[in-house]
Amino acid sequence: MSTSIHQVAERAGVSIATVSRAFNTPDAVHSDTRERIAQVARALRYAPNRSASTLRSRRSRTIGVVLPTLLNPVFAECFEGIAQASCEAGYAIVPYTTEYDLERERRAIAWLRERSVEGVVLTVANAANSPLLAEITRAKLPYVLLYNRHQERPCVSVDQTAAVQESVTYLHDLGHTRIAMATGSLDTSDRAQQRYDGYAQGMRALGLTPLAAAEQPFMHANTDALNALLLQAKRPTALICSNDLLAVRALRTARTMEIDVPRELSIVGFDGIALGAELTPSLTSISQPNAEIGRSGVELLLAGRTPKPRDSITLAHALRLGETVAARTSQSSA
């Protein structure tokens, strides 16, 4: 049986209250006593029982983490940041992945409440109509949104709209004018929507007409829309993808259609997953500081008072240059 505070107290010749204080409010106990307790605790390999502590103090020192999936490296990278930050703060994590499934998202709240998390960092498909977010708000549980960007919510994200807009300008500077965008499902994902907005604004700012997004409904989607886009006579010479996984798929689609990247088609991804830089050709991508997003989210959540919309943090994005983008050449024009 594992050792309890009583045995430490006895061996150290003090009451259990003093042992408890030695751990939680060290200044409240005499340094000699503290030292003695520390020694006994070490000798007995005493680890305070978290459940008892939580039960009595009503502080679980646990936060919920709800992400769509860990299979997308963006979220894996983010998760590592979250885990590291919360570990440093002595907080444990209750992870939950929704797999973009509304039913699972709905079930998350019970899972989290039951484990009495003190707060939640989460990414939802759409902040405007997320059942989970509604429940969290209703339960008055402190939370921070990651990646989602919403005026009336505390968020940690990059300015996705501006980021995509910049990349449009970048491509335009390289001579591209027929620039298209591939996204996930627009009405499911607010992020995809905001990224597309950046594209549209960027195009208009340059006096160009934005094209409709080539939407690919699901994660392992067919690439019909993209195929159609690239089959046109006057096909685009540059393609911005709303995430890196889509960009990888676009790379493959182009190869299948015998379109050379980047000579005939430039591709820009979004997310800046580490693996992108290792690919051949290496992916040009609007990179987000994923681990930092997770870390900041946790820090904001644990900062003290409940995070408010005005506490939202916008982190810096950067265009990570790779080998999938080239200046427009004569070949680019079909």
Nearer to DNA, 33 or 188 (CB): 33
Q: Assess contact for 248 and 285: CB atoms under 8 A.
A: no
Determine the interface stretch with DNA among 29-37, 141-149, 293-301, 305-313 (rule: CB under 7 A): 29-37
Tell me which of 23, 80, 102, 175 binds a copy of itself, using CB under 8 A. 80
Distance CA(162)–CA(170), nearest Å, equals: 12
Regarding 13 and contact with DNA (CB under 7 A), the answer is yes
Q: Binder to DNA among 10, 26, 35, 55 (CB under 7 A)?
A: 55
DSSP run (H or E) holding 183: strand 179-183
Q: Which residues within the stretch 39-78 sit at the binding site for a copy of itself (CB under 8 A)?
A: 47-52, 54-55, 60, 69-71, 73, 76-77
Q: Which of residues 88-147 bind a copy of itself (CB under 8 A)?
A: 92-97, 110-111, 113-116
Binding track, positions 57-96, relative to DNA; x by CB under 7 A:
xxx-------------------------------------
Do 131 and 121 contact (CB within 8 A), yes or no? no
Mutual angle of helices 160-173 and 190-205, in 10-degree steps? 40
How far is residue 321 from each of residues 36, 237, 240, 278, 325, measured CA to CA in Å? Answer: 58, 17, 13, 12, 8
- Least separation in angstroms between residue 1's CB and DNA is 7
Strand order in the sheet with 179-183: 214-215, 179-183, 238-241, 266-271, 284-287, 318-320
CA angle 165, 313, 96 (to 5 degrees): 100
* Residues pairing with 93 in the sheet: 63
Instruction: State which residue, 109 or 145, has the beta carbon closest to a copy of itself.
Output: 109
DSSP 269-288: EEE--GGGGGSSSPPEEEE-
Nearest residue (CB) to DNA, 35 versus 187: 35
Instruction: Find out whether the peptide bond into 262 is cis, omega within 30 degrees of 0.
Output: yes
CB atoms within 10 A of CB 28: 11
Q: Which of the listed partners (a copy of itself, DNA, none) does 16 bind, with a CB threshold of 5 to 8 Å by partner kind?
A: DNA
Out of 43, 52, 110, 303, the residue judged to bind DNA by CB under 7 A:
52
Instruction: By CB under 8 A, name the binding residues for a copy of itself.
Output: 2, 47-52, 54-55, 60, 69-71, 73, 76-77, 79-80, 83, 87, 92-97, 110-111, 113-116, 245, 248-249, 251-252, 255, 274-275, 278-280, 282
> Which residues contact DNA by CB under 7 A?
1, 4-6, 13-18, 20-21, 23-24, 27-30, 32-33, 46, 48-49, 52-53, 55-59
